[in-house]
């Protein structure tokens, strides 16, 4: 399982011990953290998703992958959704593979098709939002 987690600072990471334990025991195989106020340039979960686009695309297209988004419904969830659309349309894919392996910049879906795909994932319970 891959887990993307974000908060303002590492001091705000209240479940760090539990998440690190889950990495140690193999429950979480890839933990990606974004601390938006820890450096001069803000980094959010959606930024990490875009960086990992070549890894995320096959998951978004797989009927066996599930995406759970939990947190702020005003900005974060919209940013994550936009990143998933960018991945599905090829906008976020890296030429030559980037961090995620062999991809290219060709457009995979239109924005409308990407939105429809994400809506179908929601209907199947594969894209779940717990936002407030």
Distance, CA of 132 to chain centre: 18
Q: Which helix (H) or strand (E) holds 116?
A: helix 111-123
Interval 21-77: pLDDT, tens? 999 999 999 999 999 999 999 999 999 999 999 999 999 999 999 999 999 999 999
Q: What is the pLDDT of residue 106?
A: 54
Nearest-5° Cα angle at 3, 88 to 130:
80
pTM of the model: 0.88
Give yes or no for residue 109 having a pLDDT over 60.
yes
- Which pair of structure tokens corresponds to residue 27? 């429950």
pLDDT at 12 over 70: yes
Q: Residue 11 carries which DSSP code?
A: G
Per-residue pLDDT reduced to its tens digit, 20-36: 999 999 999 999 999 99
In what helix (H) or strand (E) does residue 46 lie, and over which residues does it extend? helix 45-51
């Amino acid at each position: 399982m891959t887990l993307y987690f974000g908060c303002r600072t590492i001091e705000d990471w209240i479940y760090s011990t539990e998440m690190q334990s889950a990495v140690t025991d193999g429950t979480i195989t890839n933990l990606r953290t974004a601390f938006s106020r820890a450096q001069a340039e803000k980094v959010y979960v959606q930024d990490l998703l875009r960086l990992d686009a070549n890894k995320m695309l096959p998951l978004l297209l797989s009927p066996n992958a599930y995406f759970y988004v939990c947190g702020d419904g005003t900005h974060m969830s919209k940013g994550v959704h936009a990143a998933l659309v960018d991945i599905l349309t090829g906008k976020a894919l890296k030429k030559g593979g980037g961090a995620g392996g062999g991809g290219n910049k060709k457009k995979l879906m239109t924005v409308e098709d990407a939105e429809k795909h994400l809506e179908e994932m929601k209907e199947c319970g594969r894209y779940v939002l717990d936002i407030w």
